[in-house]
């Protein structure tokens, strides 16, 4: 529309020869102003179109944000519902716990009291047991000292006395007791066993195990009474010691036990003459009465 007006004016100007130069200049200036205004309007239109695109993009972004917020709200509503259900369950649990708490506390207190009583009883029994063990240890020490005094003349001649593991061990080598291949006790050995019996007679609560031991030399032929191997020989030698101890009527025979160990519990290697001599022996193992200790252990 503006362009048409401009063209009309220009044509009119050219056709009218009577138009003055001044009027021409005014019309030209107006035309130029209209052209500038038209260019400005075109620029404004381009700016508006660009702004429209930006607004459309912003609109899409806002729509996506709205969708995300709606999803987040939905998730939060679900979490709130779950939390409310959990709260309800906890409230029910608390109600039940509160209802039974007094009974539970009373039962627990009773259980703890019973446990404490049992612990106190066991502690008392442990103390009693420790007292018995201490008394037994003292008794065995006194027994060892009495044996050392009574058998002092034989120590260093194949007789040793040792206290270990709560027991007293009296070991007598065969050179003190028997001739080679024999189970008959010689006079010196009998004297030692008789002195041993005197000490045992004043300790009636002591269990006495007499073990016979040999080296690994095989028995050749028969040694009399059908002895054919080291089992027989070690057993007969143990029985010979029991026989002498039994002559003391003050010894309770039920406390005596004889055992043959043959060659299977050596003190030293049988590869040397000295080792074999140490292995050929009688061991008298003295043990305190453990019945009371076993009874208390069963009660713990």
What is the fold, at CATH topology level, of the domain defined by 151-299? Answer: 60s Ribosomal Protein L30; Chain: A; (3.30.1330)
Q: Residue 201: how many CB atoms within 10 A of its CB?
A: 14
CA distance 89 to 92: 5
What does DSSP assign to residue 248? S
Q: Contact 168/140 with Cβ under 8 angstroms?
A: yes
Q: Global pTM? A: 0.58
Tokens of 255: 């406390």
State residue 205's pLDDT score.
87
State residue 60's pLDDT score.
75
Tokens of 184: 């008959």
How remote is the C-alpha of 282 from its chain's centroid? 45
Tokens of 138: 């003292």
* The pLDDT of residue 220 is above 80: no
Domain parsing of the chain, residue ranges: 2-67, 151-299
State residue 193's pLDDT score.
97
* The pLDDT of residue 19 is above 60: no
Q: Contact 230/218 with Cβ under 8 angstroms?
A: yes
6-12: average pLDDT: 53
How remote is the C-alpha of 279 from its chain's centroid? 43
SS3 content of the chain, % helix, strand, coil (to 5): 65, 10, 20
pLDDT category, 264, cuts 50, 70, 90?
A: very high
Model confidence over 137-186: pLDDT tens digits? 888 899 999 999 999 999 888 999 999 988 999 999 999 999 888 899 99
State residue 273's pLDDT score.
93
pLDDT category, 113, cuts 50, 70, 90?
A: confident
* The pLDDT of residue 116 is above 90: no
Look at the chain and count its residues.
300
Q: Torsions phi, psi of 260, nearest 5?
A: -100, 125
Tokens of 56: 């459309």
Q: Specify which residues 144 forms β-bridges with.
A: none
CA distance 244 to 193: 7
* The pLDDT of residue 130 is above 60: yes
CA distance 41 to 35: 10
Query: How confident is the prediction for the chain on average, in pLDDT?
Result: 82
* The pLDDT of residue 254 is above 80: yes
């Amino acid at each position: 529309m503006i362009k048409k007006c401009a063209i009309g004016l220009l044509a009119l100007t050219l056709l009218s020869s009577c138009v003055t130069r001044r009027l021409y200049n005014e019309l030209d200036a107006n035309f130029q102003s209209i052209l500038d205004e038209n260019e400005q309007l075109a620029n404004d239109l381009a700016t508006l179109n660009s702004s429209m695109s930006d607004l459309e993009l912003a609109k899409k972004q806002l729509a996506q944000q709205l969708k995300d917020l709606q999803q987040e709200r939905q998730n939060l509503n679900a979490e709130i519902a779950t939390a409310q259900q959990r709260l309800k369950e906890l409230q029910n649990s608390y109600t039940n716990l509160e209802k039974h708490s007094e009974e539970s506390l009373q039962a627990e207190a009773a259980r703890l009291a019973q446990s404490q009583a049992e612990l106190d009883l066991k502690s008392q029994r442990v103390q009693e047991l420790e007292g018995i063990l201490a008394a037994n240890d003292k008794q065995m020490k006194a027994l060892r000292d009495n044996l050392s005094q009574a058998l002092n003349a034989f120590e260093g001649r194949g007789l040793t006395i040792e206290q270990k593991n709560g027991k007293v061990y009296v070991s007598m080598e065969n050179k003190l007791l028997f001739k080679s291949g024999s189970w008959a006790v010689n006079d010196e050995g009998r004297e030692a066993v008789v002195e041993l019996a005197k000490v045992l007679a004043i300790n009636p609560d002591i269990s006495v195990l007499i073990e016979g031991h040999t080296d690994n030399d095989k028995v050749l032929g028969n040694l009399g009474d059908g002895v054919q191997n080291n089992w027989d020989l070690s057993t007969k030698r143990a029985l010979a010691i029991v026989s002498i101890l039994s002559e003391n009527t003050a010894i309770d025979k039920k406390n005596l036990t004889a055992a043959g160990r043959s060659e299977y519990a050596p003190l030293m290697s049988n590869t040397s003459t000295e080792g074999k001599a140490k292995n050929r022996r009688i061991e008298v193992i003295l043990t305190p009465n453990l019945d009371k200790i076993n009874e208390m252990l069963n009660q713990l």
